[in-house]
Amino acid sequence: MDRQHGKATGKVYLIGAGPGAADLITVRGARLLGEAQVVLHDALVSPEMLAWCPQAELVEVGKRCGQRSTAQLFINRQIVDLATKHERVVRLKGGDPMLFGRADEELQALEAAGIEYEVVPGITAALAAASAIGRPLTKRGVSRSVAFATQAKAADAVDVEADVKADTIIYYMGRDQAANIATQLIARGKPASTPAWVVEAATTPRQRSHQFTLGQMAAGEAARWMDPVQPSLLMIGEALGSRATEYVEAERAA
């Protein structure tokens, strides 16, 4: 087969690396990494995660907020080109490929080129962060809906109209707009007393978390606490509050 001239193509695997810890990738994802000839990976993928594929050529194609990043169109072209040269190509994405990972653009490029692909899901950061702080995203009688959201980069472009309808709201990449997001949620009816967490670098050795109220977040306290370098999540909702009192009361009632 002459892969250099496009007479045959390999298969591309879009794999979710999970939230950070190397042993939180799926068994299937780890196996496919171990079989790949080349791995295109995000900037946030750790060296420990890449230890699953010592045999592969590594290509960093990640994006970091405020830093020089690889253009998505170029990434698409790289994936297609590498699939004409290798049988197994992995596109390794942090979290889950299908959530805020621009997977649709990469899949469109592969489909247009007639290249076979498979998507391997991963644990998204919101689920890992909920486990890290020991707070559920849903809770019987309190929260039956969850919204995963991002905001536009411009500080004056915050729009929470759709988000506020959910019982629990998780904002990815919301660090720089934490105060604005909280202010807008309060303006649209969320109580200022609503529990609001910030979780940074969930499941990694750098993990930190802190609980605020939505009012404190609106006042800028969360923004002052956050590390400007670490990936972070804003987590807002009554389900994220303390459960100690209700547990004691339930035991007494029993």
Task: Check: CB of residue 43 under 8 Å from CB of residue 64.
Answer: yes
Tell me: do 39 and 138 sit in the same domain. no
Tell me: do 113 and 20 sit in the same domain. yes
pLDDT in tens, 176-201: 999 999 999 999 999 999 999 999 99
Instruction: Respond yes or no: is residue 159 known to be catalytic.
Output: no
Tell me: do 154 and 116 sit in the same domain. no
Residue 3 lies in a domain: no
CATH number at residue 89: 3.40.1010.10
Tell me: do 12 and 108 sit in the same domain. yes
Tell me: do 199 and 217 sit in the same domain. yes
CA angle 219, 223, 229 (to 5 degrees): 175
Residue 115 lies in a domain: yes
Q: Which of 67, 95, 120 is the last residue of a domain?
A: 120
Instruction: Respond yes or no: is residue 7 known to be catalytic.
Output: no
Mean pLDDT, the chain, rounded, equals: 90
Catalytic-labelled residue, pool 2, 11, 42, 93: 42
Residue 252 lies in a domain: no
Domain of 13, in residue numbers: 8-120
> Could you give the CA distance from residue 145 to residue 186 in angstroms, rounded to a whole number?
18
pLDDT in tens, 113-151: 999 999 999 999 999 999 999 999 999 999 999 999 998
Residue 159 lies in a domain: yes
Query: Where residue 2 falls among pLDDT bands split at 50, 70, 90?
Result: very low
Query: Where residue 156 falls among pLDDT bands split at 50, 70, 90?
Result: low
Query: Where residue 62 falls among pLDDT bands split at 50, 70, 90?
Result: confident
Q: Which of 120, 152, 169 is the last residue of a domain?
A: 120
Domain count, the chain: 2
CB < 8 Å & 24+ apart, contacts of 156-162: 158/184, 159/184, 160/184, 160/185, 160/188, 161/188
The pLDDT assigned to 210 comes to 97
Tell me: do 132 and 157 sit in the same domain. yes
Residue 169 lies in a domain: yes
Residue 31 lies in a domain: yes
The pLDDT assigned to 69 comes to 63
Query: Where residue 3 falls among pLDDT bands split at 50, 70, 90?
Result: very low
Tokens 């799926």 identify what position?
Answer: 26
Q: pLDDT over 70 for what percent of the chain?
A: 87
Predicted confidence (pLDDT) at residue 13 exceeds the cutoff of 60: yes
Tell me: do 109 and 153 sit in the same domain. no
DSSP result, 124-161? -HHHHHHHHHT--S-BTTTB--EEEE---SSGGG---T
CATH number at residue 232: 3.30.950.10
Tell me: do 196 and 223 sit in the same domain. yes
Tell me: do 131 and 111 sit in the same domain. no
Enclosing H/E stretch for 211: strand 208-213
Catalytic-labelled residue, pool 7, 11, 23, 63: 63
Tell me: do 67 and 137 sit in the same domain. no
Tell me: do 142 and 44 sit in the same domain. no
Q: Which of 120, 145, 178 is the last residue of a domain?
A: 120
Predicted confidence (pLDDT) at residue 254 exceeds the cutoff of 60: no
